[in-house]
Structure 1
Amino acid sequence: MRFPLRYPHREDAVEADATAARLDPAPATQMGTPARRLYAGAKLERARTIADLRAMAHRRLPAFAVEYLEGGAEEEATLSRNLAALASWRLVARALKDVSRRDESVTLFGRDMPLPFAIAPTGLNGLFWRKADVLLARAAAQAGVPFAQSTMSNDPIEEVAAVPSLRHWWQLYVFGERRIREALIARAEQAGCEALVLTVDAQFYGDREWEQRRFTHPGRLTIASILESARHPHWIATTLSGGMPSFANDVDYVPEDKRGFFDSAFWIRANMDHSLDWDEAARLRTLWPRKFLIKGILNVDDVERAQRIGADGVVLSNHGGRQLDWTISSLDVLPEARRRVGSQFTLIVDGGMRRGTDILKALALGANAVLLGRATLYGLAAAGESGVTRAIDIMREEIDRDLGLLGASSVRELDASFLTR
Structure 2
Amino acid sequence: MVTRQLPNPAELLELMQFKKIDLNGKRRRLSSALTIDDLRTIAQRRTPKAAFDYTDGAAEGELSLARARQAFRDIEFHPDILRPAVDVDTSVEILGGPSALPFGIAPTGFTRLMQTEGEIAGAGAAAAAGIPFTLSTLGTTSIEDVKAATLREPQGAVPGRNWFQLYVMRDREISYGLARRAAAAGFDTLMFTVDTPVAGARLRDKRNGFSIPPQLSLGTIVNALPRPWWWIDFLTTPKLEFASLSTTGGTVGELLDAAMDPTISYDDLAIIRELWPGKIVVKGVQNVTDSKRLVDLGVDGIVLSNHGGRQLDRAPIPFHLLPEVVREVGRDATVMVDTGIMNGADIVASIALGAKFTLIGRAYLYGLMAGGRAGVDRTIEILRSEIVRTMRLLGVSSLAELEPRHVTQLTRLVPVSPAASAAKPVATR
TM-score bin (small chain)? 0.7 to 0.9
Q: Of residues 165, 174, 188 in structure 2, which corresponds to 1:194? A: 188
2:318 is matched by which residue type in structure 1? Answer: S
Deviation of 1:343 (Å): 2.4
Inter-partner Cα distance in structure 2 for 1:73 and 1:296: 15
Asked if 1:99 corresponds to 2:94, the answer is no
Q: Assess, with a 3 A threshold, how the Cα gap between structure 1 residues 329 and 265 changes in structure 2: closer, same or farther.
A: closer
Asked if 1:347 corresponds to 2:335, the answer is yes
Asked if 1:311 corresponds to 2:305, the answer is no
Equivalent residue number for residue 231 of structure 1 = 226
Inter-partner Cα distance in structure 1 for 2:145 and 2:70: 38
Asked if 1:141 corresponds to 2:136, the answer is no
Equivalent residue number for residue 26 of structure 1 = none
Q: Assess, with a 3 A threshold, how the Cα gap between structure 1 residues 265 and 82 changes in structure 2: closer, same or farther.
A: closer
Equivalent residue number for residue 162 of structure 2 = 168
More deviation in 230-239 or 350-359? 230-239
Equivalent residue number for residue 74 of structure 1 = 60
Q: Assess, with a 3 A threshold, how the Cα gap between structure 1 residues 311 and 137 changes in structure 2: closer, same or farther.
A: same
Inter-partner Cα distance in structure 1 for 2:118 and 2:345: 27
Q: Is the 8 A contact 1:338 1:366 kept in 2?
A: yes
Aligned positions of 1:394-405 closer than 5 A: 394-405=382-393
Inter-partner Cα distance in structure 1 for 2:286 and 2:359: 15
More deviation in 335-344 or 190-199? 335-344
2:270 is matched by which residue type in structure 1? Answer: A
Q: Assess, with a 3 A threshold, how the Cα gap between structure 1 residues 40 and 81 changes in structure 2: closer, same or farther.
A: farther
Equivalent residue number for residue 48 of structure 1 = 34
Please identify the structure whose Cα radius of gyration is greater.
Answer: 2
Look up the SS of the partner of 2:34 in the other structure. Answer: coil
Deviations 1:337-395 (A, max 9, x none): 11111324101100111111111111111100100111111110000001000110011
Deviations 1:55-80 (A, max 9, x none): 11011001111110111111111011
Look up the SS of the partner of 2:359 in the other structure. Answer: strand
Q: Is the 8 A contact 1:147 1:169 kept in 2?
A: yes
Deviation of 1:243 (Å): 4.9
Equivalent residue number for residue 184 of structure 1 = 178
Inter-partner Cα distance in structure 2 for 1:203 and 1:240: 33
Equivalent residue number for residue 287 of structure 2 = 299
Deviations 1:254-275 (A, max 9, x none): 3xxxx44x46983343231110
Look up the SS of the partner of 2:282 in the other structure. Answer: strand
Q: Is the 8 A contact 2:189 2:281 kept in 1?
A: yes
Inter-partner Cα distance in structure 2 for 1:272 and 1:412: 39
1:149 is matched by which residue type in structure 2? Answer: L
Asked if 1:247 corresponds to 2:242, the answer is yes
Inter-partner Cα distance in structure 1 for 2:253 and 2:398: 43
Look up the SS of the partner of 2:303 in the other structure. Answer: strand
Q: Assess, with a 3 A threshold, how the Cα gap between structure 1 residues 44 and 178 changes in structure 2: closer, same or farther.
A: same
Equivalent residue number for residue 201 of structure 2 = 207
Inter-partner Cα distance in structure 1 for 2:180 and 2:98: 27
Deviation of 1:225 (Å): 1.8
Look up the SS of the partner of 2:86 in the other structure. Answer: coil
More deviation in 338-347 or 387-396? 338-347
Report sequence identity in percent. 40
Inter-partner Cα distance in structure 1 for 2:162 and 2:95: 13
Inter-partner Cα distance in structure 1 for 2:216 and 2:318: 34
Q: Assess, with a 3 A threshold, how the Cα gap between structure 1 residues 41 and 110 changes in structure 2: closer, same or farther.
A: closer
Q: Is the 8 A contact 2:308 2:340 kept in 1?
A: yes
Look up the SS of the partner of 1:213 in the other structure. Answer: helix
Look up the SS of the partner of 1:43 in the other structure. Answer: helix
Equivalent residue number for residue 419 of structure 1 = 407
Q: Of residues 310, 319, 323 in structure 1, which corresponds to 2:311? A: 323
Q: Is the 8 A contact 1:175 1:268 kept in 2?
A: no
> How high is the TM-score relative to the length of structure 2?
0.84
What do you get for the CA RMSD once the two structures are aligned? Answer: 2.0
Inter-partner Cα distance in structure 2 for 1:239 and 1:407: 47
Equivalent residue number for residue 368 of structure 2 = 380
Asked if 1:270 corresponds to 2:258, the answer is yes
* Matched pairs, number: 376
Inter-partner Cα distance in structure 2 for 1:125 and 1:217: 13
Inter-partner Cα distance in structure 1 for 2:373 and 2:67: 30
Equivalent residue number for residue 20 of structure 2 = none
Equivalent residue number for residue 7 of structure 2 = none
Which 5+ residue runs of structure 1 have no aligned equivalent? Answer: 1-38
Which 5+ residue runs of structure 2 have no aligned equivalent? Answer: 1-24, 152-158, 411-429
